């Protein structure tokens, strides 16, 4: 795995890891993950003690919206990339007392077979995660915790009290346009608002700074 760069987004705990593809007339070869490469890269110290326990593949049709999901006991961090199509990742801070509590950022992750690189986005515990798709798409993510159905919840991506001020305006506009004809599950559409979730005692699992995030 040849790591090219690590980018910090406007919520500093969210990182984008760019890694190389080796391209020629046949196509490309890429090593997308190697634990030793991560451990030997000082700028990736936030992943040095992380173990990935579960891999998930998700296929979505055009104009699908998913999320915003999170889990505790165990907490779940996610390393996410696009394998086909175009995903825009949505990350919402749900950590009580965080300076960015209630703020959402969006990051575009299109698949481009001709590019000399690909990217992972790191979404640590303490954030609600979702995405939307402008093309039929396939994504993959590595998880630091196994799925725990009794310890999960979600914020509706349609909730009016999400703060989009850190999001690039063209992505917020694109999201608003997709919502007019979106494919979204009833569970996600009717999930909590930020206010409702913060009034739920289970929200106390996500205090800032989050401790024992690898438990």
Burial class (CB in 10 A: 0-12, 13-18, 19+), 181: exposed
Catalytic residue among 107, 132, 141, 192: 141
CB atoms within 10 A of CB 91: 28
Q: Is 141 a catalytic residue?
A: yes
Which residue bears the tokens 């987004």? Answer: 9
* Sign, CA torsion 95/124/100/91: negative
C-alpha–C-alpha distance, residues 127 and 140, integer Å: 18
Residue from 6, 16, 12, 197 nearest 121 by CA = 16
Residue from 83, 1, 13, 89 nearest 45 by CA = 13
Catalytic residue among 69, 129, 132, 133: 69
**How big is the chain, counted in residues?**
215
Tell me the two tokens of residue 192.
């909590």
Max Cα separation, the chain? 57
Q: Is 205 a catalytic residue?
A: no
Residue from 120, 138, 103, 149 nearest 50 by CA = 120
- Would you please indicate which residues are annotated as catalytic (active-site) residues? 69, 141
């Amino acid at each position: 795995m040849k790591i090219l760069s690590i980018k910090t987004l406007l919520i500093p705990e969210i990182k984008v890891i760019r890694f190389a593809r080796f391209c020629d007339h046949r196509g490309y070869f890429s090593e997308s993950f190697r634990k030793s490469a991560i451990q030997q890269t000082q700028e990736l110290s936030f992943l040095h003690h992380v173990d990935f326990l579960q891999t998930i593949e998700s296929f979505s049709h055009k104009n699908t919206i998913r999320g915003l999901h999170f889990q505790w006991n165990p907490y779940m961090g996610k390393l996410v990339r696009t394998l086909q199509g175009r995903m825009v990742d949505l990350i919402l801070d749900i950590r009580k007392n965080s300076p960015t509590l209630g703020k959402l950022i969006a990051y575009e992750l299109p698949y481009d077979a001709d590019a000399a690189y690909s990217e992972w986005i790191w979404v640590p515990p303490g954030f609600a995660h979702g995405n939307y798709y402008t093309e039929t798409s396939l994504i993959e993510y590595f998880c630091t915790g196994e799925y725990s159905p009794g310890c999960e919840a979600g914020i509706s991506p349609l909730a009016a009290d999400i703060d989009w001020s850190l999001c690039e305006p063209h992505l917020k506009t694109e999201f608003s346009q997709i919502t007019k004809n979106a494919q979204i599950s009833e569970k996600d559409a009717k999930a909590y608002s930020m206010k409702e979730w913060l009034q739920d005692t289970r929200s106390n699992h996500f205090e800032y700074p989050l401790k024992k995030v690898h438990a």
